[in-house]
Amino acid sequence: MGSKQEFKGKDVDEAITMACDKLGIPREELNIEILSTGSSGIFGLCRKQAIIRATKKKLETGPAPQRQSKPVASPAVQEKPQPAAPAAVAQPTDEQPPPAVQSLPAEQPKKKRAPADRPQEPAVPLTPEILAQIKADLEQLLNLMGFPSEIVLEDINNKAQVKISGEHIEELITKDGQALDSIQYLMRKIIGKKFPQKIMFSIDAGDFRETRKVELQELALKLAQEVKETEKTRTIPPLNPAERRVVHLVLQEDKTIRSRSVGDGLFKKILIYLPGKGRIRKKPQRRKGRKEKLTIPE
């Protein structure tokens, strides 16, 4: 019982509560060593737990060694320490805290049931609180990146359309908008940590998204024409899901060609090919016995 044990929690107080529950004793009977106070991270991400090391205070083990030293003198003395049930009387005092400790697990299931009711709220329209939180977090993120900008939000069919404007638009849309896509991905993780319902939103910088959509449509049609003329497969570099959808939609009306996404992860390539030539098919192997029959003269 004297061995040290480590306990974790979102903060030091929660870690101590975990130790009390595990060891079945109140806080004042614990020796506590704080190993880490934890960290709330940034935007609720990269959070670190608090860690403590706890042991029972040596109140009960102190008199025990004295009783063991006396029995060595004479066996008769061993019978007297047993009536020393006064020490055993201390056990009822140890058994009194558990009822208070046992009440904690009874409260925990109630806390766990609460999130189970929250998934029923995804269809709830965007509230001013949600829109304000998206704007505040995005402003802070852009400031940390060194790109302070103006942000305007609009609720369109329960989807937040976020537009960034200012002097740093060029930095955000370079390399086909990779930085903008990364910001959007990170913001979805941040907002998902703060609200139980699924929040739909897209982030644009200037008119990049619309311009990019037109460029992808023109590129897809151009490569489709090359496929028809050369009968060779063409490839579009990795795109995010929204951009891949643009390509597939613009080509779906042309029944003479096919398009499909290939690769792993969020970003995938798109193959544009003629039907029957987008995949390598293995020719069925003929049995040797049949070849021999064909070569035998009549």
DSSP conformation letters of 43-81: TTBS-B-EEEEEEE-TTSTTHHHHHHHTTTT-HHHHHTT
Q: Are residues 73 and 134 located together in one domain of the fold?
A: no
Instruction: Please check whether residue 278 lies inside any domain of the structure.
Output: no
Of 174, 206, 238, the one marking the end of a domain is 206
- Residue 291 tokens read as 């070849």
Instruction: Please check whether residue 123 lies inside any domain of the structure.
Output: no
Backbone angles phi, psi at 119, to 5 degrees: -60, -10
Q: Are 61 and 2 in contact (CB under 8 A)?
A: yes
What is the maximal distance between C-alpha atoms in the chain? 114
Instruction: Please check whether residue 180 lies inside any domain of the structure.
Output: yes
**CA 32, CA 20: separation in Å to the nearest integer?**
11
Domain that holds residue 219: 209-273
Better pLDDT: 105 or 58: 58
**CA 155, CA 196: separation in Å to the nearest integer?**
19
Overall average pLDDT of the 124-152 stretch: 91
- Which band of pLDDT confidence, cut at 50, 70 and 90, is reported for residue 115? very low
Instruction: Please check whether residue 290 lies inside any domain of the structure.
Output: no
- Residue 75 tokens read as 């066996």
Q: Are residues 166 and 250 located together in one domain of the fold?
A: no
Q: What is the pLDDT of residue 107?
A: 40
Q: What is the pLDDT of residue 40?
A: 63
Instruction: Please check whether residue 295 lies inside any domain of the structure.
Output: no
Whether pLDDT at 85 is above 70: no
Q: Are residues 166 and 198 located together in one domain of the fold?
A: yes
- Residue 178 tokens read as 């990779």
Paired residues of 235 in beta bridges: 271
Q: Are residues 71 and 158 located together in one domain of the fold?
A: no
Quick one: how far is CA 213 from the chain centroid?
30
Instruction: Please check whether residue 298 lies inside any domain of the structure.
Output: no
Paired residues of 239 in beta bridges: 268
Q: What is the pLDDT of residue 140?
A: 94
Whether pLDDT at 220 is above 90: yes
Of 160, 186, 206, the one marking the end of a domain is 206
Instruction: Please check whether residue 296 lies inside any domain of the structure.
Output: no
* CATH at 161: 3.30.300.20
Overall average pLDDT of the 191-216 stretch: 90
Q: What is the pLDDT of residue 45?
A: 59
Q: Are residues 249 and 202 located together in one domain of the fold?
A: no
Q: Are residues 109 and 132 located together in one domain of the fold?
A: no
Whether pLDDT at 244 is above 90: yes
Of 64, 83, 118, the one marking the end of a domain is 118
Q: Are residues 77 and 142 located together in one domain of the fold?
A: no
Torsion of CA 156, 159, 163, 164, to 10 degrees: 160
Paired residues of 270 in beta bridges: 236, 261
Whether pLDDT at 287 is above 70: no
- Which band of pLDDT confidence, cut at 50, 70 and 90, is reported for residue 7? confident
Q: Are residues 112 and 10 located together in one domain of the fold?
A: yes
Whether pLDDT at 123 is above 60: no
Instruction: Please check whether residue 170 lies inside any domain of the structure.
Output: yes
- Residue 33 tokens read as 């060593």
Overall average pLDDT of the 162-177 stretch: 91
The dihedral built from the CA positions of residue 183, 189, 193 and 194, taken in this order, carries a sign that is positive
Domain count, the chain: 3
Q: Which of 15-29, 114-128, 145-159, 240-254 has the lowest mean pLDDT?
A: 114-128
Overall average pLDDT of the 178-207 stretch: 90
**CA 113, CA 118: separation in Å to the nearest integer?**
9
Q: Are residues 144 and 239 located together in one domain of the fold?
A: no
- Which band of pLDDT confidence, cut at 50, 70 and 90, is reported for residue 31? confident
- Which band of pLDDT confidence, cut at 50, 70 and 90, is reported for residue 38? confident
Q: Are residues 67 and 78 located together in one domain of the fold?
A: yes
Q: Are residues 9 and 105 located together in one domain of the fold?
A: yes
- Residue 167 tokens read as 């002097």
Better pLDDT: 111 or 205: 205
* CATH at 224: 3.30.1370.50
Whether pLDDT at 117 is above 70: no
- In this structure, the chain runs to a length of 298
**Helices within the chain (DSSP H only):** 12-23, 63-69, 75-79, 85-95, 97-117, 128-145, 169-194, 208-230, 241-251, 288-295
Better pLDDT: 161 or 72: 161
Q: Are residues 101 and 170 located together in one domain of the fold?
A: no
**CA 277, CA 233: separation in Å to the nearest integer?**
8
